[in-house]
Chain A
């Protein structure tokens, strides 16, 4: 198959998955080992699936899970063994090319988003998240950062709350009341 060489070996787009042929990237062995281990755990778990209604034969609920996890174990082991024999890519480190500080910080921010979403509500959490990440990535002044973040948030909120009627946790902001106030204003104008 024709392959294109771009400067992006790291799966920048769906079209070009990362990894190198004939070389292994830093951390690839650890990842491979973890996958093998996880597959083994899943295989063990699949073996324990019991058929409530009959024997654990070929048509029981364990058949396909057992088969797929077995395939996973074999595939993961093959990948791991192959990787062990490959030379490591020179000049790449985990901290620089796989998991730079920015990625770790953003990942933590994402988890924090999930944790705060319920108690704090969608609007304040999103505002904090957007301001923090845009400031971190954009390296611009606070005025610009907060302005852009809030403008985007308002736009997203209007589109999704009004057009798509997606309900997010309201938290500390009385969203429904606000919308009602605005509605009342327009009602009053009639």
Chain B
């Protein structure tokens, strides 16, 4: 009964309802404006909602997240620039459709399919999270440590770019997270004897720098490009179109939830896998894939929105984020005094159900805003970059300053912004850095707990790993990721599959 009441919190408080709506609205447009990303929006917003109560802050951010994952598809369809990583696959068939003048249909189908996918994801979250959290109570510290390593590695290996660069980025993140006084022994770490480093580096400064300023600097390269005008006609799709693709959408939603629920993998991977799946099961698409096949839109869009619900499972039950955006959401929960992990479900189950309720509401708002306001949309997307970029920079500075009222944070933010700018240029993924920063503490604490309980003996530690089925699986997964990137793996694969080597993903 309490769960139902907590679930209904959003629906019974007009101001929370309004905030979810406002967040979703903002998310759709932020995701849709090239040069603005959900990650950027959520990281800047954390600092502004810092002084708020936890409920309104979370309501706003959930709206932005849900709307943003969907909004990223807009620019993918209209401009062939995915607004969010999860919309990469959407561009493959969405853009060809738009070029043929079917942008309206593409957006309509995308919206409805995102809605369906979103619901399936939330449903699974509501049913599965309590079980996962029960199970998570049995996790040993070493399991948490392995999960954290696995998450960082997965983000590094599956996002575009090379694994070594991903590993570097992840390790850098962990090191950044370790700066300051060690919470257990109070020893100074990476402080270089500077008093100002003792408190550590604010992770919000890192986030805003990497996702706000560095992206805005990147956009300077394209400042002279004119905004693209698109004629968009009717966008509400016919019932028969939806019905026709319903079976596929259920399958791809399932893929989305599953991939989303794995620690370290989020909507981007889910969307690409779903796209591959659709390619395999669709025997006779009306148009070939890559040339504007409707199935090529349905699959990634259901999957990435289903992955939102899926990604909340490890985030809420284990405290391990699925991707950069969920990492930032975890940061937001921390700031508001919540501690995502198995104890959250026991100590504050109402918080969990409140979040589920907010997600449901955000999903409805997404459908509403996705299918209406197309005129306003085209106006906003045409906002000149020469105004947009300075505004993003201004907001980034205000955001970095606002959390601690400290100029030091502003300088850190700018430093990481410039650094992230070069990382982007040279193909270093930024997601693992943020994941590393967020997971640094968890990794450190759990490693030390695990090794202390084994009397600082590595032999006993590995004995423990291999006598517990869970630890063994996690450990093997970590090793597999490494091996899969080496030439040995490619050779073995070629041998096993007789040289065809096609079915295995990267």
Contact surface of A with B, Cβ cutoff 8 Å: 1-4, 6, 8, 10-20, 25, 27-28, 31-32, 35, 42, 45-46, 49-53, 57-65, 68-69, 71-72, 75-76, 78-79, 82, 97-98, 100, 102-103, 106-107, 110-111, 113-114, 117-118, 122, 126, 129-130, 133-134, 137-140, 148-149, 152-153, 156, 160, 164-168
Contact = CB atoms under 8 A, between A and B. Distances in A.
B425 A6 contact: no
Q: Give the 3 A-B CB pairs with smallest separation, nearest first.
A: A19-B427, A11-B424, A138-B386
A68 to B, nearest CB: 4
B91 to A, nearest CB: 6
Interface in B162-199: 162, 164-165, 167-168, 171-172, 174-175, 178, 182, 184-190, 192
From DSSP, what is the main secondary structure of chain A's interface residues? helix
B357 interface: no
B221 A61 contact: no
B142 interface: no
Q: By CB atoms of chain A within 10 A, which of B84, B217, B221, B268 has the most?
A: B221
B272 interface: yes
Contacts of B80: 6
B475 to A, nearest CB: 16
Contact of B175 (A19, A68, A167): A68
Q: By CB atoms of chain A within 10 A, which of B164, B192, B443 has the most?
A: B164
Given A14-B84, A20-B427, A164-B49, A65 B39 contact: no
B187 A49 contact: yes
A52 B186 contact: yes
B298 interface: no
Interface in B424-474: 424-431, 440, 443-444, 447-448, 451-452, 456, 458
A119 B62 CA distance: 37
Interface stretch (B153-161, B245-253, B311-319, B364-372): B153-161
B105 interface: no
A103 B217 contact: yes
A15 B407 contact: no
B189 A3 contact: no
A11 B425 contact: yes
B244 to A, nearest CB: 24
Contacts of B74: none
B195 to A, nearest CB: 16
B171 A15 contact: no
B73 to A, nearest CB: 11
Contacts of A50: 187
B398 A76 contact: no
Contacts of B211: 14
A168 B51 contact: no
Contacts of B394: 126, 129-130, 153, 156
Interface in B386-417: 386-387, 389-391, 393-395, 397-398, 401-402, 405, 407, 410-411, 414, 417
B380 interface: no
A108 B387 CA distance: 18
Contacts of B182: 49, 61
Nearest to B388: A137
B3 interface: no
Given A76-B168, A114-B410, A17 B427 contact: yes
Contacts of B217: 103, 106-107
Contacts of B174: 64, 68
Given A138-B386, A166-B48, A52 B164 contact: no
A33 B35 CA distance: 30
Contacts of B35: 12-13
Interface string B83-122: 1111111011000000000000000000000000000000
Given A60-B185, A166-B48, A10 B221 contact: yes
A7 B174 CA distance: 33
Nearest to A1: B506
Given A11-B424, A17-B424, A18-B425, A51 B187 contact: yes
A117 B410 CA distance: 10
A64 B418 CA distance: 27
A106 B425 contact: no
A117 B428 CA distance: 32
17 contacts: A6-B81, A13-B37, A17-B161, A17-B428, A18-B425, A20-B427, A42-B190, A58-B456, A63-B448, A68-B175, A75-B165, A75-B167, A107-B418, A110-B417, A138-B387, A148-B387, A152-B387
Contact of A75 (B171, B219, B324, B506): B171
Given A17-B161, A52-B187, A103-B220, A110 B398 contact: no
B185 A53 contact: yes
Given A45-B192, A64-B444, A79-B168, A13 B389 contact: no
Contact of B451 (A1, A31, A42, A59): A59
A152 B448 contact: no
Given A45-B192, A71-B167, A152-B387, A28 B268 contact: no
